């Protein structure tokens, strides 16, 4: 158990530090947003570029892992959509609940955890997770949210195109794409350039956890607690359970997965929902529900992640 705490304690200690420095007034909520922009737009793109560009593409592209994470995520969306059709009172709540139940925080929490559990695989796991999340899972959930609007908002193909174009413009997507180009080309970047990317990437793990903690301060603790708790349970329990089922069934599809990557896939799915969840829910006027669900999930994940690590490692 001490080995497990050696992994989870630093993660949540850093989150607590972030919470404390905002609570004490040393940093403001606006400062956390600025630091979060740095992580999203500079540190994580540099990390993704370095993780992909410095390796051969065959070493990065794990079809078994992509299949497990993709099918598990799609199953989580389907299960959440069906469950919240009955548990939520309207399509907008159902869409926001489905988004929170199936899109993990692979960058701000998942990567620091992987860095402690599988340091050699952490960058690759982040790149693979990010590919599935941003190309498939998040766009599907955003389409569900868009379709929950009242009235006619144009053709579904136009809405899908707009969502995918918005995803393609994100710095992390650009960093990943450039890394793939360099990897495929076989070009070796000069060592000073790689050291620059390594330096920027090294700032991602600790700072991302500080940002998560600072962002949790001031989140509303009131709202639909029953629905928020259900969202948190779906994210922390149902999603990783579905990924684990796909891991077990993977040989039936004629594919294999190393034990380390199997554990990484399940742990990745067990992360709380991603950091901009409440921002996206704000478009439907449900930021209070999303913030409460994120607060519950992030807090409870200390226990659920510890138990998963105890079971899987």
One pLDDT digit (tens) per residue for the chain, 313 residues = 677 888 889 899 999 999 999 999 999 988 988 998 898 899 989 988 988 888 887 777 899 999 999 999 999 999 999 999 988 778 889 999 999 999 999 988 999 999 999 998 998 999 999 889 988 998 898 888 888 776 555 667 777 788 778 778 888 889 989 988 988 888 788 888 889 998 998 888 888 889 888 888 877 666 678 899 999 999 999 999 999 999 999 999 888 899 999 999 999 999 999 877 877 887 777 878 888 998 899 999 999 999 999 988 7
Euclidean distance between CA atoms 53 and 76, whole angstroms: 31
Q: Is the dihedral of CA 166, 164, 97, 240 positive or negative?
A: negative
In the prediction, which pLDDT does 162 show?
80
Q: Tell me how far the alpha carbon of residue 166 is from its chain's centroid.
A: 17
Closest among 20, 190, 209, 42 to 113, alpha carbons compared = 209
pLDDT score of 152 = 53
What's the rounded Cα separation, in Å, for the pair 108 and 301?
Answer: 14
Q: How far apart are CA 128 and CA 52, in angstroms?
A: 10
Contacts with 265 (C-beta within 8 Å, 6 or more apart), sequence order:
65, 68, 69, 72, 243, 247, 257
Give the separation between CA 17 and CA 79, rounded to whole angstroms: 35
Question: How is residue 161 written in tokens?
Answer: 């195109």
Q: Which of 108, 129, 113 is nearest to 215 (CA)?
A: 108
Q: Residue 111's CB: how many other CB atoms inside 10 A?
A: 27
HEC secondary structure over the chain: CHHHHHHHHHHHHHHHHHHHHHHCCCCCHHHHHHHHHHHHHHHHHHHHHHHHHCCCHHHHCCHHHHHHHHHHHHHHHHHHHHHHHHHCCCHHHHHHHHHHHHCECHHHHHHHHHHHHCCCCHHHHHHHHHHHHHHHHHHHHHHHHHHCCCCCCCCHHHHHHHHHHHHHCCHHHHHHHHHHHHHHHCCCCCHHHHHHHHHHHHCHHHHHHHHHHHHHCCCCCCCCHHHHHHHHHHHHHHHHHHHHHHHHHHHHHCCCCCHHHHHHHHHHHCCCECCCHHHHHHCCCCHHHHHHHHHHHHHHHHHHHHHHHHHHC
At residue 153, the pLDDT reads 56
Q: Which residues of 154-165 are buried (b: 16+ CB within 10 A; e: fewer)?
A: eeeeebeeebee
pTM of the predicted model as reported, rounded to 2 decimal places: 0.87
Give the closest residue to 272 by CA, choosing from 39, 77, 103. Answer: 103
Distance CA 161, CA 165 (A): 6
Q: C-alpha distances in angstroms, 283 versus 110, 140, 168, 181, 269? A: 26, 16, 20, 35, 25
| Residue 263 pLDDT | 96
What pLDDT is recorded for position 150?
62
């Amino acid at each position: 158990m001490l080995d497990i705490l050696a992994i989870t304690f630093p993660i949540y200690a850093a989150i607590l530090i972030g919470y404390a420095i905002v609570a004490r007034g040393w940093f403001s909520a606006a400062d956390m947003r600025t630091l979060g922009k740095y992580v999203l737009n500079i540190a994580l793109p540099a990390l993704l570029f370095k993780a992909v560009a410095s390796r051969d593409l065959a070493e990065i592209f794990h079809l078994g892992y992509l299949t497990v994470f993709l099918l598990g995520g799609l199953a989580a969306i389907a299960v959440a959509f069906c469950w919240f059709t009955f548990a939520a009172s309207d399509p907008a709540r159902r869409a926001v609940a489905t988004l929170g139940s199936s899109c993990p925080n692979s960058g701000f929490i998942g990567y620091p955890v992987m860095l402690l559990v599988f340091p050699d695989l952490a960058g690759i796991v982040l790149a693979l997770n990010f590919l599935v999340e941003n190309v498939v899972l998040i766009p599907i959930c955003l389409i569900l949210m868009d379709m929950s609007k009242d009235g006619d908002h144009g053709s579904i193909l136009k809405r899908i195109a707009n969502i995918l174009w918005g995803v393609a413009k994100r710095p992390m997507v650009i960093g990943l794409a450039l890394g793939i180009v360099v990897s495929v080309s076989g070009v070796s970047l000069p060592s000073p350039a790689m050291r620059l990317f390594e330096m920027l990437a090294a700032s991602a793990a600790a700072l991302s956890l500080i940002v998560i903690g600072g962002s949790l301060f001031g989140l509303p603790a009131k709202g639909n607690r029953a629905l928020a708790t259900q969202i948190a349970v779906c994210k922390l329990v149902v999603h990783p359970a579905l990924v684990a089922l796909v891991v077990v069934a993977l040989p039936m599809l004629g594919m294999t997965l190393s034990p380390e990557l199997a554990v990484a896939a399940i742990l990745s799915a067990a992360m709380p929902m991603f950091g901009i969840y409440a921002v996206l829910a704000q478009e439907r006027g449900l930021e209070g529900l999303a913030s409460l669900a994120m607060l519950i999930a992030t807090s409870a994940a200390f226990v659920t992640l510890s138990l998963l690590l105890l079971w899987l490692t």
